[in-house]
């Protein structure tokens, strides 16, 4: 202790000198904002301090000085070519039906309305769509055989699109929930178990029927174990070796799917006295708390023959998008889901967000995280904004 005191005393003049130096520097920084002739500097707010330039060899702001230069060195570019536009199709009349929880989105009436909507998307550079049929309740069963009806709404819509737009890239949804009276992606046993292998048999039939109709990419969203490999073998066996598989690799049991289930009336139904129906999809979709589990799913899908891997939802799972980008050479897709769309729409309608800026920022974030493809209900609007339309 004494040594420390003596040392402190011995350095007292140095400390005083340092204090003087600090005071002088503060004084320099806070002196009045006047030039050498005592007049206010033009172009600066009154009171702006006069300071010498910092000795900084690197100033990152130099690369942000103009929109021309910012756009020249931009790392991630968003283009309509990145978008896959989801379309809901119905045949319960000739008019489009608005989806209340998704402002601006409709169930399109099968036929001319579908063609017109896709033609508009193509006019702005969006040449990829994914088809979601609204199955009438009277066609839904506990085993969902309507899923592989060769003349079902999905299959007819695929043919309609390919007949009118041969170069359109048509994706499908492979899952049983739009056709299942229980509202689940798979067949439900009386004990409330989602049957894995039995479901896959029907998923294979569904995928083949979609390929026969002209689909370019089948997209299993069901999250059954082993379904990618089974579908690949089924497609190859029937001669559809060029039909791709976009797997919903990391599909989470998310709270963001509500408006989509409104659109297709595909939410799980209540159980009955003799049948237990799970109230959610947590026994097959991934736990939102899990990150490393996505690697396991990705490795399995890649080994089974997936051509594209998807993460769903989007914005809350950008870390998983980046994970798949870094662990696999396959293209990565992300689904900007209905709940994300609805939140942006609601905030914009209330004037809380600039919709255009917020949406294009979201699209850029998907690309920055590593997504090659973006499924988004904003496909047409975002493409208009990218083209400079207000």
* Residue 114 is assigned to a structural domain of this protein: yes
Annotated active-site residue 282? The verdict is no
Measured distance CA(117)–CA(59) in Å, rounded: 48
**What does the DSSP 8-state code read for residue 208?**
H
The answer to whether residue 73 sits within a structural domain is no
**In which domain, by residue range, is 344 found?**
80-388
Band of residue 241 on the pLDDT scale cut at 50, 70, 90:
very high
Q: Is residue 62 part of a domain?
A: no
pLDDT tens, residue by residue, 85-101? 999 999 999 999 999 99
Lowest mean pLDDT among 45-54, 116-125, 291-300: 45-54
Catalytic residue among 134, 140, 281, 312: 312
Q: Is 316 exposed, middle or buried (0-12, 13-18, 19+ CB in 10 A)?
A: middle
In a domain, 272, yes or no: yes
Catalytic: which of 251, 281, 345, 384?
Answer: 251
Domain assignment present for residue 375? The answer is yes
* Ramachandran quadrant class, 152 (left: phi over 0; alpha: psi -120 to 50; beta: rest): beta
Report the CATH number that the domain containing residue 199 is assigned in CATH. 3.20.20.70
144: left (phi over 0), alpha (psi -120 to 50) or beta: left
Query: Do 254 and 209 contact (CB within 8 A), yes or no?
Result: no
Q: How many CB atoms are located within 10 Å of the residue 236 CB?
A: 12
pLDDT at residue 197 greater than cutoff 80: yes
Kindly state whether residue 59 falls inside one of the protein's structural domains: no
Residue-wise pLDDT for 20-33, tens only, equals 444 444 444 444 44
Residue 61 is encoded by which pair of tokens?
Answer: 């702001």
How many domains, in total, are found in the chain? Answer: 1
Report how far Cα 260 is from the mean position of its chain's Cα atoms.
14
* pLDDT of 265 above 80: no
Query: Is the model's pLDDT at 125 over the cut of 60?
Result: yes
Compute the C-alpha angle 272/277/281, nearest 5°. 160
- In-domain check, residue 337: yes
Rounded to whole angstroms, how far apart are CA atoms 230 and 77? 36
Lowest mean pLDDT among 9-13, 122-126, 220-224: 9-13
User: Annotated catalytic, 312?
Assistant: yes
The pLDDT assigned to 289 comes to 98
How far is residue 90's CA from residue 106's CA, in Å, rounded to a whole number?
Answer: 10
Question: Could you tell me if residue 282 is inside a domain?
Answer: yes
């Amino acid at each position: 202790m004494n040594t420390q005191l003596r040392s402190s005393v011995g350095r007292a003049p140095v400390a005083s000198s340092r204090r003087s130096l600090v005071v002088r520097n503060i004084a320099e920084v806070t002196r009045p904002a006047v030039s050498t002739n005592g007049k206010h500097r033009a172009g600066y707010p009154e009171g702006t301090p006069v300071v010498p330039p910092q000795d900084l060899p690197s100033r990152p702001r130099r690369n942000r000085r103009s929109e021309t230069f910012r756009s020249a060195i931009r790392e991630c570019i968003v283009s309509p070519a990145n978008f896959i536009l989801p379309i809901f199709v119905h045949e319960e009349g000739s008019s489009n039906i608005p989806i209340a929880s998704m402002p601006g989105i409709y169930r399109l009436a099968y036929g001319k309305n579908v063609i017109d909507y896709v033609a508009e998307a193509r006019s702005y550079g969006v040449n990829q769509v994914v088809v979601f049929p609204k199955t009438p309740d009277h066609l839904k069963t506990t085993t969902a055989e309507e899923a592989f009806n060769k003349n079902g709404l999905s299959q007819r819509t695929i043919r309609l699109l390919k007949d009118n737009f041969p170069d359109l890239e048509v994706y499908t949804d492979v899952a049983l929930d739009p056709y299942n009276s229980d509202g689940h992606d798979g067949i439900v046993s009386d004990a409330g178990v989602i049957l894995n292998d039995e479901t896959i048999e029907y998923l294979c039939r569904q995928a083949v029927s979609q390929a026969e109709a002209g689909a370019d990419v089948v997209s299993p969203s069901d999250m059954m174990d082993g379904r990618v490999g089974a579908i690949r073998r089924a497609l190859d066996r029937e001669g559809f070796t060029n039909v791709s598989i976009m797997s919903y690799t990391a599909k989470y049991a998310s709270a963001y799917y509500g408006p989509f289930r409104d659109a297709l009336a595909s939410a799980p139904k209540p159980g009955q006295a003799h049948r237990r129906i799970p109230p959610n999809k947590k026994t097959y979709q991934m736990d939102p708390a899990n990150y490393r589990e996505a690697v396991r799913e990705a490795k399995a899908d890649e080994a089974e023959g997936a051509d594209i891997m998807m993460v769903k939802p989007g914005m809350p799972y950008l870390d998983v998008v980046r994970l798949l980008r870094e662990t696999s050479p396959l293209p990565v897709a992300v689904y900007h889901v209905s709940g994300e769309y609805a939140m942006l729409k609601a905030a914009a309608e209330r004037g809380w967000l600039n919709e255009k800026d917020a949406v294009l920022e979201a699209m850029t974030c998907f690309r920055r995280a590593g997504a090659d493809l973006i499924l988004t209900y904003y496909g047409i609007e975002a493409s208009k904004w990218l083209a400079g339309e207000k």
